[in-house]
Structure 1
């Protein structure tokens, strides 16, 4: 089941990315033809079996399978004639096509440890995937610059302006760690921007005219990306801590003897248990230690 979930997420992210390039030909996973589903599954299997594979090797594996199935190079993709513009060596691909391999690999590695059927975990990772997608889109396309020195808005991000009545605002709801002063505009990944824009009394999408430039320009004063990266790291560490804690609780729950519980408490928490109590009482005491002192 896990490989199908990974393939589905990778396919949908690729479909959204293609749409950002003006390609609306990609069907949803539920409507995709069998050959496209199998191609995505084969890519997932390749990365699961070869975790160190590079995006270039990912494309080589895809190309080998395509050629074996009778596909050939064509300026426009045509499934009936089995023509595809990416049926060529990796070094000949344009940057926006190479980015697809980075996206695919990133999705597989982000979800490879996901337990089968853990839909909640998929939702937890969606924000990270959206942020990764927006970042890769930004790297693969020309940077969009604002006219007359206004803040730049990279592709895949939205300008969000704080319009609340207070002089400043600090996010304590979504865990981004972002602060705004009155009228400030920040460039946010799509998923993060949507969260703030749910509060129209405080935030509004910034109306910024843009032109396209082939020369990347970095706004040294915009610390949004740095703050979001720190927040993502803190959130990741928090999830790992919670996961480790649950692992220890599960370990205690499966202990079937007083001796095992007493040894665990003494070894990990230097606490002695009175083994004259019932096994349920001893287990409850150990679980309380786990909750109080953490997974040591």
Structure 2
């Protein structure tokens, strides 16, 4: 895997990647050896990063660990999103009685069965978003 040296020239004392989810943290003037993929993304911002030749600064380089942590965080977020979507798909297949039982069993909420099935589905989906998935 190709590695590229990039230097943070953005001017802040500390810069934390919140855009590309690499998990990288740069101090002002710090040089890190990053993957070519991460470098391509970061170097799009020429006012913040510059490609450099040479070696890292003396500080221990934890770039690889940070990149792995960033990738794991993205995977966790994707898994959580997928789990919520799976529950919503199940809710969309339920009838009024099932929706009422699901809301009561998982969230302790009573539903007004006089409302349409679609309104009940929306209420249960809101509960999922508000309270999370109940195991």
- TM-score if structure 2 supplies the norm length? 0.89
Alignment partner, residue 229 of structure 1: 68
Q: Report the more deviating stretch, 169-178 or 196-205.
A: 169-178
Classify the secondary structure of the residue corresponding to 2:85. helix
Q: Greater helix share, 1 or 2?
A: 1
Deviation sequence 1:26-47 (CA, Å, 0-9, x none): xxxxxxxxxxxxxxxxxxxxxx
In structure 2, C-alpha distance between the alignment counterparts of 1:207 and 1:163, rounded to whole Å: 15
Classify the secondary structure of the residue corresponding to 2:5. strand
Alignment partner, residue 207 of structure 1: 53
Residues 171-210 of structure 1: matches in 2 within 5 Å? 171-208=17-54
Alignment partner, residue 14 of structure 2: 168
Shift of 1:220: 8.5
In structure 1, C-alpha distance between the alignment counterparts of 2:36 and 2:106, rounded to whole Å: 44
- Alignment partner for residue 240 of structure 1, among 79, 86, 91? 79
Gaps of 5+ in 2: none
Over aligned residue pairs, what C-alpha RMSD do you find? 1.7
Q: Greater strand share, 1 or 2?
A: 2
Residues 11-30 of structure 1: matches in 2 within 5 Å? none
Deviation sequence 1:28-77 (CA, Å, 0-9, x none): xxxxxxxxxxxxxxxxxxxxxxxxxxxxxxxxxxxxxxxxxxxxxxxxxx
Shift of 1:221: 1.3
Deviation sequence 1:158-204 (CA, Å, 0-9, x none): 11111122333221211222111222111111111111100111111
Q: Which runs of 4+ in 1 moved over 3 A?
A: none
Task: Pick the structure with greater CA Rg.
Answer: 1
Classify the secondary structure of the residue corresponding to 2:6. strand
Classify the secondary structure of the residue corresponding to 1:271. coil
Classify the secondary structure of the residue corresponding to 2:50. strand
Gaps of 5+ in 1: 1-133, 135-155, 210-218
Are residues 1:290 and 2:102 paired?
no
In structure 2, C-alpha distance between the alignment counterparts of 1:194 and 1:272, rounded to whole Å: 52
In structure 1, C-alpha distance between the alignment counterparts of 2:59 and 2:78, rounded to whole Å: 31
- TM-score if structure 1 supplies the norm length? 0.42
Residues 146-165 of structure 1: matches in 2 within 5 Å? 156-165=2-11
Higher relative contact order, chain-length normalized (CA < 8 Å, sep 6+):
2
Alignment partner, residue 141 of structure 1: none
- Alignment partner for residue 100 of structure 2, among 251, 262, 266? 262
Aligned residue pair count: 132
Shift of 1:223: 0.7
Shift of 1:295: 2.1
